[in-house]
Amino acid sequence: MKFGDNLKQIRKSKNISQEDLAEKLGVSRQSVSKWETGENYPSMFNIMCLCDIFNCKINNLVHESMSDINSLDEEIKMSVVKFKENEQKKMKGFTKALYIISNIAKHVCFVMTILMIIITIAGAVIVPSVKIDNKNNTISLYGHKVDYKLTKNTLTINGDKVTTHDDYEYTQIKKATEMSSTKLTIVSLFLTVSATLVLFVSYKLFSNLSQLFKNIHDQNTPFSMENVNAIRKLALYSFLTVLIPDVAGSIASIISNIDFGVTIGLFSYLFSLMLIVLSYIFKYGYEIQLDSKGTMYNEK
């Protein structure tokens, strides 16, 4: 239904004549008539006055599915977008679901971080007791000896065979068995600390993510400086979750002379960059909102 039809229908349902409506608005009867026939459209100020007179919402007059929306001025179009209740309900639902998911992930990362801290502290004492005796082909694990045998195709540990697929894998395992106890301790603790740090950064990432979705769900607009800052922190933490494993793996490879298969994930870095750009988009939206003093959602 078009704006003119909506106006005419509501006016008649309120038993208000065109003359009476024109008098209340301070315009001519001809203006009201042209609004109802679609020859002309009222200003945003007059539309808000119509809402007061009819005691209705703006989307009762300017319906979101109206066919002549493109003929309205930009200010009215913006109000139509703001009052699309069905779309807003969908976004509220999505953000609530994402808040719950990210909140669960936050708590999981927190628990795993605590566990990794315990493992790291314990490892500082336990790992030095892991020794490799290449001459006798034994590995001492916390006082217990384990026999191993390494050939080109097979790694045997206490009689259990583990097939090695190629020369590259054989070379990496051989380098590990030839590593000194001191170097083994350093590499193991370094990787454990790095993993703990990644989990802590992931915890911070999901904390900001859950707060962001909660803000979008609870506030009357997604464009706020609080959300802008949350997105910037998300970009930083997502960047660190990619950078820390790459740096840690590279350093561990240098120390141990073992290839940990570190590759630069360009897509992951690009994702962090996109979050940074998104924060600037939110900041721009926030500044526009300050200028118009408007809200995104149909809420009082």
Looking at residue 210, its pLDDT comes to 92
Q: How many CA atoms lie within 13 A of 57 on its CB side?
A: 14
Three-state secondary structure call for residue 141: strand
How confident is residue 68, by pLDDT bands cut at 50, 70 and 90? very low
Say which range, 14-18, 86-90, 289-293, has the weakest mean pLDDT: 289-293
Looking at the fold, whether 53 and 98 belong to one and the same domain comes out as no
Do the domain assignments include residue 181? no
CA-to-CA distance for 59 and 88, rounded, in angstroms? 13
Do the domain assignments include residue 169? no
Which of 66, 82, 98 corresponds to the end of one domain?
A: 82
Which CATH number goes with the domain that contains 30? 1.10.260.40
Do the domain assignments include residue 158? no
- What digits encode the pLDDT tens for the residues 232-253? 888 889 888 888 888 888 888 8
Looking at the fold, whether 95 and 230 belong to one and the same domain comes out as yes
Domain that holds residue 68: 3-82
Looking at residue 115, its pLDDT comes to 92
pLDDT for residue 300 is more than 50: no
Looking at the fold, whether 60 and 202 belong to one and the same domain comes out as no
β-strand pairing of 131-133 with 138-141? antiparallel
Tokens of 278: 């998104």
Contact yes or no for 24/53 (Cβ under 8 A)? yes
Q: What is the pTM of this model?
A: 0.59
Looking at the fold, whether 22 and 71 belong to one and the same domain comes out as yes
Looking at the fold, whether 102 and 235 belong to one and the same domain comes out as yes
Do the domain assignments include residue 186? no
Query: In sequence order, which ranges of the chain are alpha helices (DSSP H)?
Result: 3-13, 18-25, 29-37, 44-54, 58-61, 74-82, 85-126, 167-177, 181-218, 225-256, 266-292
Cβ neighbour number for residue 203 with a 10 Å cutoff: 20
Looking at the fold, whether 285 and 217 belong to one and the same domain comes out as yes
Angle at alpha carbon of residue 97, lines to 95 and 99, rounded to 5°: 65
Q: How many CA atoms lie within 13 A of 112 on its CB side?
A: 17
Which of 82, 117, 141 corresponds to the end of one domain?
A: 82
CA-to-CA distance for 276 and 280, rounded, in angstroms? 7
Say which range, 49-53, 60-64, 178-182, 266-270, has the weakest mean pLDDT: 60-64
CB under 8 Å to 78, separation ≥6 — which residues?
292, 294
Do the domain assignments include residue 201? yes
- What digits encode the pLDDT tens for the residues 130-176? 667 767 777 666 556 777 777 767 777 777 776 666 676 667 666 76
Do the domain assignments include residue 297? no
Looking at the fold, whether 10 and 93 belong to one and the same domain comes out as no
Looking at the fold, whether 205 and 280 belong to one and the same domain comes out as yes
Number of structural domains found in the chain = 2
Looking at the fold, whether 21 and 103 belong to one and the same domain comes out as no
Which of 44, 66, 82 corresponds to the end of one domain?
A: 82
Q: What is the mean pLDDT of residues 18-45?
A: 86
CA-to-CA distance for 135 and 26, rounded, in angstroms? 103
Do the domain assignments include residue 148? no
Q: Is the dihedral of CA 272, 275, 277, 280 positive or negative?
A: negative
DSSP state for residue 296 in the 8-state scheme: S
Looking at the fold, whether 208 and 75 belong to one and the same domain comes out as no
Contact yes or no for 162/156 (Cβ under 8 A)? yes
Looking at the fold, whether 69 and 211 belong to one and the same domain comes out as no
Looking at the fold, whether 10 and 97 belong to one and the same domain comes out as no
Q: What is the mean pLDDT of residues 78-100?
A: 72
